């Protein structure tokens, strides 16, 4: 069994895998990782391997515990991965994006795949049928767009995410919702159409915290999978286990 740990700035996702299937998944505050690690190890005594991908800070006690209790791998840009990275600046490619591309290699081998991760930012990552990662794009996520309108203006309110009732907003609130939500939907559909022009046989994956919210409204045919990144980390761990 494998323990997968995806560390964010404030929250951390932990998942227990039996081969390629998730048997438990939880989200905890990044400050309380060690407690969760001990609980999971007690509940699943057959966990032998663990991987950490971190954009936040993992405390030393947690790292030492992982090294002591598991066959431990900390994902970095030097970690062997099953694709050719043609990014011009490979050491700046986010570890989360590396994991997403690895998931596509495992699940959609020999296909042109566009992975859209809708979270704090919206990232687009493309790997072709030759197993070559070419790059993608990064844009603001839904909440960042709401926050930017509020923070960069004097009077616009900060709203909760809401599906607009009509694309023509008839008040400041409905105009903001229309601008943010329809804006990001049209962006995603537009990017997908750009890729399809060059790669008609395109497979599209949508993941991230806003995947479920967006998937119901997008025009394009997609695979929505909120666990895609965790599955990618599990594959990287399997790929590197000797």
**Which of the residues are catalytic?**
96
**Is residue 79 annotated as involved in ligand binding?**
no
Indicate the SS3 state at residue 190: helix
CA distances from 97 to 41, 77, 132, 165, 210 (A): 28, 11, 14, 33, 16
**Is residue 119 annotated as involved in ligand binding?**
no
**Is residue 12 annotated as involved in ligand binding?**
yes
Interior angle at CA 185, CA 184 and CA 186, nearest 5: 90
Largest CA distance in the chain: 61
**Is residue 84 annotated as involved in ligand binding?**
no
**Is residue 196 annotated as involved in ligand binding?**
no
Residue 46: Cβ within 10 Å count: 7
Q: Which helix (H) or strand (E) holds 85?
A: strand 84-85
**Is residue 9 annotated as involved in ligand binding?**
yes
- Is residue 207 within 8 Å of residue 229, measured between CB atoms? yes
CA dihedral of residues 67, 72, 76, 80 (deg, nearest 10): 150
**Is residue 153 annotated as involved in ligand binding?**
no
**Is residue 145 annotated as involved in ligand binding?**
no
**Is residue 134 annotated as involved in ligand binding?**
no
Question: CA Rg, the chain, in Å?
Answer: 19
**Is residue 136 annotated as involved in ligand binding?**
no
Task: Give the annotated binding-site residues for K(+).
Answer: 117
Binding residues: 6-13, 87, 94-97, 117, 120, 172
Q: What residues are designated binding site for substrate?
A: 87, 94-97, 172
As annotated, the binding site for ATP includes 6-13, 120
């Amino acid at each position: 069994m494998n323990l997968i740990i995806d560390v964010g700035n404030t929250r951390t996702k932990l998942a227990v895998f039996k081969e390629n299937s998730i048997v438990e998944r939880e989200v905890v505050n990044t400050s309380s990782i060690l407690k969760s690690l001990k609980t999971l190890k007690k509940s699943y005594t057959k966990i032998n391997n663990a991987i950490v991908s971190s954009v936040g800070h993992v405390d030393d006690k947690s790292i030492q515990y992982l090294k002591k209790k598991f066959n431990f791998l900390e994902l970095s840009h030097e970690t062997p991965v099953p694709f050719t990275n043609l990014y011009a600046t490979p050491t700046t490619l986010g570890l989360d994006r590396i994991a997403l591309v690895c998931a596509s290699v495992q699940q959609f081998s020999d296909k042109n795949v566009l992975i859209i991760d809708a979270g704090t930012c919206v990232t687009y990552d493309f790997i072709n049928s030759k197993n070559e990662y070419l790059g993608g794009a990064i844009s603001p996520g839904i909440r960042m767009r709401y926050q930017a309108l509020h923070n960069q203006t004097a009077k616009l309110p900060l709203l909760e995410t809401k599906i607009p009732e009509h694309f023509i907003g008839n008040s400041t609130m409905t105009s903001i919702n229309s601008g943010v939500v329809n804006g990001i939907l049209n962006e995603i559909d537009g990017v997908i159409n750009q890729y399809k022009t060059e790669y008609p046989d395109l497979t599209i994956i949508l993941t991230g915290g806003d995947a479920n919210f967006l998937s119901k409204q997008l025009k394009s045919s997609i695979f929505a999978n909120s666990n895609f990144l965790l599955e990618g980390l599990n594959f990287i761990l399997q790929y590197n286990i000797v």
